[in-house]
Amino acid sequence: MEIFNQANVSFILGGFANTIEISVLAIIFSLLFGTILAMVKQYGPKPLSLLVSAYIELFRCTPNLLWILFIYFTVKGDYVFTSVLSFTIFTSAVMAEIVRGGFNSIPKSQFEAARSQGFGFFGTMWYIILPQTFMVIIPALFSQCTTVIKDSSYLAGVNVMEFMYTTKVVMAQAADLSQVLMLYGFMFALYFVLNFGISLIVRAYQRRVVAAA
């Protein structure tokens, strides 16, 4: 039996497309929520800062798979919603620390200069602090993006139709070890191309920053 027939390849690539969709949505929402968490922890009132710190430590000190299982069994919704939600609540804690590290690299004099020009807190953050912060943390953000893409394979454990799961389904049809190895090689190649492509973007950006300095 030809394992790489049109139906199987389409099925596997459909899972790969779902992996990309879930990962992109999770990264976007995690970055947005993580930025808010970082702002509250860094600049918010003490009670809220402590609450956010507790949230961040809770998710940084527990495995992602735990929250995938928790959301899967407790939240109603389609697989995209539950998958994105589980990754967002977990990854936003990591994003928050990345963004906060960027905040720490910005001189406090930036706030004073903005205040002297009549900017309020949110205007200062939006127009001055956040643009500089994201320029600083781009390499770390892209690194976290590759982590999200790789960790999306955990979703196969709850039968989400992502890349790992669809490949496993086709693998069950393999007639011999050579077909299994070909499927593993195919899966390796697509994961590698996607994540290595992201790493090349980061390297190009870093070279550009160095050249401009």
CA atoms within 13 A of residue 103's CA, in its CB half-sphere? 20
Quick check: 212 pLDDT over 80? no
Residue entry with tokens 């500089």: 132
pLDDT at res. 92: 96
Cα atoms in the Cβ-side hemisphere of radius 13 Å centred on 107: 5
Give the pLDDT band (50/70/90) at residue 21. very high
How confident is the model at residue 37, as a pLDDT? 96
Rounded mean pLDDT, 145-158: 93
Query: b/e per residue, 51-63, with b = 16+ CB within 10 A?
Result: ebeebbeebeeee
Mean pLDDT lowest among 111-120, 129-138, 146-155: 111-120
Quickly list H helices, the chain: 6-43, 46-60, 64-74, 79-104, 109-116, 121-124, 130-151, 163-171, 177-212
What's the mean per-residue pLDDT of the chain?
A: 91
Note the pLDDT tens digit of each residue in 152-170: 999 998 999 999 999 999 9
Dump pLDDT digits (tens) for 59-103: 989 999 999 999 999 998 888 999 999 999 999 999 999 999 999
Q: Residue 165 in contact with residue 159, Cβ under 8 Å? A: yes
- Half-sphere exposure at residue 35, Cβ-oriented, CA atoms within 13 angstroms: 15
Domains and CATH numbers, the chain: 6-212 (1.10.3720.10)
| Angle at CA of residue 135, ends 58 and 142, nearest 5° | 55
The pLDDT of 5-25, averaged and rounded, is 94
